[in-house]
Structure 1
């Protein structure tokens, strides 16, 4: 009997192929199946991952603390693909007034969140300032990967109300805006050990140069790709290929070149996407590029969440205490909503829209990336503790926001006079919102 069972035991390679096929099928089918349910794709993925890694036949423990470089690079890849997709699907033309909700969330809400989380981590957890700041910078940005259910729809579908636009544009820009604070934490940690000055380097290099360089570099690469894709005077222009892989090419080139000259690649990728989108806003190829980035993003996101589910059941939360649980609840239920509400004071939106914008500051893959980057670049005595806390907050956020997003967004649509069950129809250029007319 044992020999018979051993003969039927599948080859690991065949198991991987089968699992990959099931994963791809779930990527395509689950969003449709969950559309009307108070349940999100990330919740299902984490549950599947937890179940898989509980099997005795799967001996691997996918703990990020054991694979620091892989964790940093894998989360980095997912974020840049997500940022390209976010930029391509924004219909609203860039402008200071038209994007005023974005500037409020970036310039007011995020710094307040970083300050509050840093103070809470230092006071409640007894962490040194540099490590507390790393936590604040990691947990403040709204995630561009896991926030798909509160973001705008594909290009030219008209699914761009103020809430969806605000959360999409915030998620696109705040990853680049949070990076200076991650670097500040690294500099503070190094200064505490060596006594070297840090303020001048941080202001001139990490803030001024890396932000300005990221914006300029992203714009130049976006202009180049926009011209080659839509306006080159030949039948060989890239739009003629009909191949959305062009968006992936622009993502990797923008990020790679930006990192080579030491500017913020996350910011560059999002600006590149916005610039390509602006080059020919009504071209159908915009939808082709977004569709491909969206499919790849969901595939790699689901793979990561399967591993995250496995990490949860193999010891990621082993170091978590009841104090950590309280801190996690305060971050999600007090700090982000309150900072979001303060940032929107005086903004011409209804109370329901403001509450939704303030509440849905989803924490996810971006937080995992920033934490792994910080741990890999500074001396942290017990990284397991930070991974446990951030893992708990990401889990809480996925559950809290995943279970509430469908009913809240459907309610908001009905309050705004939209039918949440109506199919999206392609529209012409979006000229801004009623709250922010052009």
Structure 2
């Protein structure tokens, strides 16, 4: 009668149970960690390490063993996060209102790439093409793991300059870094074939892929905005309250623009901004944002479980002492320094500038770019070491920023006159909201 109790459980049943627990953690952990100096990504990595340490479980994921899956899964998580980031930004796009963002994109990002490339090509002794790839991989901030320092859901008013800057920067710089990834790939290829690369890179990877990505994202956002909010009232999608339309817009935007060989990351973020612009005050944006955030959190937790399992099984083993030192320099010197340079002259307090410069979180976007780059470079000699360096930078970033985000952001809220313990804190009289309007 009880002989079945001694048999190992069905893997399918274990999978269902694991998914159930994972979804419960997605719902409960953000509430439990809200006032603690701890973040959801840290807990996810810890769980992955614990699973990887179980001898009979055989949980040993590795990006080196599964490069195609790593690229595609990280890609999926990032595009979902980009749609969510674009939908929740209340501030209207503009040259002046987004000045902080443009500084971070056009000054901080390229300067970071240059400094990381020089560090990797000289001190780490990597080939210059791979040094540039490492710079392009580690310079962008991450839209997935930075939720604790981003703006709140649509129309909540949780959009001070720091949160807006970090959200918009993460939304734009994932697309802005792609030309440098392609430049590294072109340099690696030309070192073997001796073919000219500069004209093709400028005309195709820069002008075409950025321009078409912007235009494609805008047109798709306009189309979805019109279908959702402006067709006859009895058939308006917004009346259904079905946030799945955001998922549809994400996949259509990414699919169409990637089909015509331009930057899908940039397109998805532009689609989200344009979609939001179609009817900025409509409550339906909250439904769309909530759905994308839930999918983002579930997929992020799964990917970080894999990351934790990979750490247990030797992802960081190829590290050299100089690599460890370089990771600290990238996080503690290069990002803060280039962030402050980019923000020079901006009308903001030193607390705000230092917070923006410090929270240059590296994460799943870096995983995607490295997987993409290595999948398009024939030489795999340095692949294990590059994964070890990027894995270490991401791990240190998650720990350093995850442990510090709660106390730093709570202190910043108090300095700006907000109560961090109030769920629906009302901004004090005279508080400057998005775009500079006084509330």
Shorter-chain TM range is: over 0.9
- The question of whether the paired residues in 2 share the 8 Å contact of 1:159 and 1:424 is answered with no
Q: How does 1:211-230 map to 2 (within 5 A)?
A: 211-230=210-229
Separation in 1, partners of 2:93, 2:343: 19
Q: How does 1:229-244 map to 2 (within 5 A)?
A: 229-244=228-243
Structure 2, unaligned runs of 5 or more: none
Task: Name the residue aligned to 1:422.
Answer: 422
Separation in 1, partners of 2:435, 2:26: 35
Task: Name the residue aligned to 2:12.
Answer: 13
Please report how far the alpha carbon of residue 3 of structure 1 lies from its aligned counterpart in structure 2 after TM superposition: 6.3
Question: Match of 1:399, SS?
Answer: helix
* CA 1:426–1:225: 2 relative to 1, 3 Å: farther
- The question of whether the paired residues in 2 share the 8 Å contact of 1:98 and 1:432 is answered with no
Separation in 2, partners of 1:62, 1:72: 13
Please report how far the alpha carbon of residue 433 of structure 1 lies from its aligned counterpart in structure 2 after TM superposition: 3.8
- The question of whether the paired residues in 1 share the 8 Å contact of 2:366 and 2:390 is answered with yes
Task: Name the residue aligned to 1:146.
Answer: 145
- The question of whether the paired residues in 2 share the 8 Å contact of 1:117 and 1:135 is answered with yes
Task: Name the residue aligned to 2:119.
Answer: 120
- The question of whether the paired residues in 1 share the 8 Å contact of 2:91 and 2:435 is answered with no
Please provide the CA RMSD for this pair: 1.6
Structure 1, unaligned runs of 5 or more: none
- The question of whether the paired residues in 1 share the 8 Å contact of 2:157 and 2:433 is answered with no
Task: Name the residue aligned to 2:34.
Answer: 35
Deviation >4 Å, runs of 4+: 2-5, 434-438
Question: Match of 1:213, SS?
Answer: helix
Compute the TM-score of the two structures, normalised by the length of structure 1. 0.97
Separation in 2, partners of 1:433, 1:192: 51
- The question of whether the paired residues in 2 share the 8 Å contact of 1:248 and 1:293 is answered with yes
Partner deviation per Cα, 1:156-181 (whole Å, 9 max, x = no partner): 00000000000000000000000000
Please report how far the alpha carbon of residue 241 of structure 1 lies from its aligned counterpart in structure 2 after TM superposition: 1.9
- The question of whether the paired residues in 2 share the 8 Å contact of 1:348 and 1:435 is answered with no
Task: Name the residue aligned to 1:198.
Answer: 197
Q: Which moved more, 1:349-358 or 1:56-65?
A: 56-65
Compute the TM-score of the two structures, normalised by the length of structure 2. 0.96
Q: How does 1:14-413 map to 2 (within 5 A)?
A: 14-380=13-379, 381-413=381-413
Separation in 2, partners of 1:395, 1:89: 27
- The question of whether the paired residues in 1 share the 8 Å contact of 2:138 and 2:362 is answered with yes
**Number of aligned residue pairs:** 433
Separation in 2, partners of 1:238, 1:201: 43
- The question of whether the paired residues in 1 share the 8 Å contact of 2:74 and 2:368 is answered with yes
Separation in 2, partners of 1:47, 1:160: 31
